[in-house]
Amino acid sequence: MTTQHTEAARQPLTTLSEDERLFRDSVYEFADREVRPLVREMDEHAKIPPALVEKLFDLGVMGIEIPDAYGGGGATFFHAVLAVEALSRVDPSIGVLVDVQNTLVINALLRWGSDEVKRRYLPKMASATIGAYALSEAGSGSDAFAMGTRASERDGDWAITGRKLWITNGNEAGLFIVFANANPEAGYRGITAFLVERGTPGFTVGKKEDKLGIRASSTCELLFDECRVPRANVLGEVGKGYKVAIETLNEGRIGIGAQMIGLAQGALDHTIAYTRERKQFGKAIAEFQAVQHQIARAATEIEASRLLVYNAARLRDGGQPFLTEAAMGKIFASEVAERTASLAVNLFGGNGFVKEYPVEKLYRDAKIGQIYEGTSNLQLQTIAKQIMG
């Protein structure tokens, strides 16, 4: 059993053009129709049905910024943010699938890929191929550049050896952006980004993690044993992988902020509906002022986090600096998501603690927002450096 969701949660329409509003609403309508009936099953089985992935490609949200010439949507980064938010309002697992595809993988290909790389991969990314972004390792999480994966030249090509952990989309991806150090003596200046296709000899997708939340989204280890990669598959320049990683992740954090906004809004939707149904002391708990005030505060925080994230996305599309704004949006949206999901569990009472109702899942899903694509402590450090010089 699930509670009835609200049809029209308040949105900051003044910040959206008519085209953007219609796009966001169409994605949410799709999520409500196609994703919502599958949410509990996907969470329990920790898997996204292939048929749903096909529908996401048909909808056009898997290649939002890819130019028309390559079969993509030719839209903006802001449109990608709106899509992630709308999908995450129903299931953050689907939101992060689309987020990594657009804000990390496709963004990196558009910015750093050669003309040949774009011709080879962008049409596939727009139509059928899922991407993954392989940076993290067991000893290099927050310190992403302390990586042990190595790349060595072999007969004009490259051979990659190492192990990556916690790679989102690992189970479904056909193309992986893999970071390896081609010159360890140079430290982070040896890091290079490579494009590795699934099925390449020497490359294996390993264990899929059994996670607390966003369980339908696959998180896997990747194993490389003398994996041969052609020279043409270097993304950007040899030794410039650190620049690819930093600049792409700065954008990706805006996408995670959008995921957390959608999660928080979804939790609030369920909560508002349920407080009108749940009765205590002879009346709906929605009539109690204490409940109204908690909901009002949550709605205020969601609106504030939404505007922070939207602002960062607008700055990015406008070619203006956005590092501080992206960090602020991610940290605040992730904290708001956790608080709002916790409030939802509280106001559902005992039903909030059982899987028959939807909010315990959102509570589990919310925790990752403060961990991946830069922990909250790292975001605070970024903000402090920027504002304190």
Q: For all residues of the chain together, what is the average pLDDT?
A: 95
Same domain, 230 and 305: no
**Residues tagged active-site:** 373
CATH number at residue 193: 2.40.110.10
Residues 356 and 329 in one domain: yes
- Shared-domain flag, residues 166 and 104: no
Residue 7, in any domain of the structure: no
Q: Is the pLDDT assigned to residue 12 strictly greater than 90?
A: no
Please state, in angstroms and as integers, the Cα–Cα distance from residue 19 to each residue in 13, 26, 78, 80, following that order: 11, 11, 12, 13
Residue 360 forms part of a structural domain: yes
Residue given tokens 């890819």 in the structure block: 66
Same domain, 257 and 193: no
- Between CA 64 and CA 105 the distance in angstroms is 12
Domain boundary among the residues 240, 255, 274 is at 240
Both 29 and 39 in one domain: the answer is yes
Residue 91 lies in domain: 13-130
Q: Which pLDDT tens digit goes with each residue over 318-374?
A: 999 999 999 999 999 999 999 999 999 999 999 999 999 999 999 999 999 999 999
CATH of the domain at 93: 1.10.540.10
Q: How confident is the model at residue 389 (pLDDT cuts 50, 70, 90)?
A: confident
Question: What is the per-residue pLDDT for 145?
Answer: 77
Domain count, the chain: 3
Q: Say if residue 276 is in the same domain as residue 381.
A: yes
pLDDT number for residue 183: 96
Average pLDDT over residues 46-71: 98
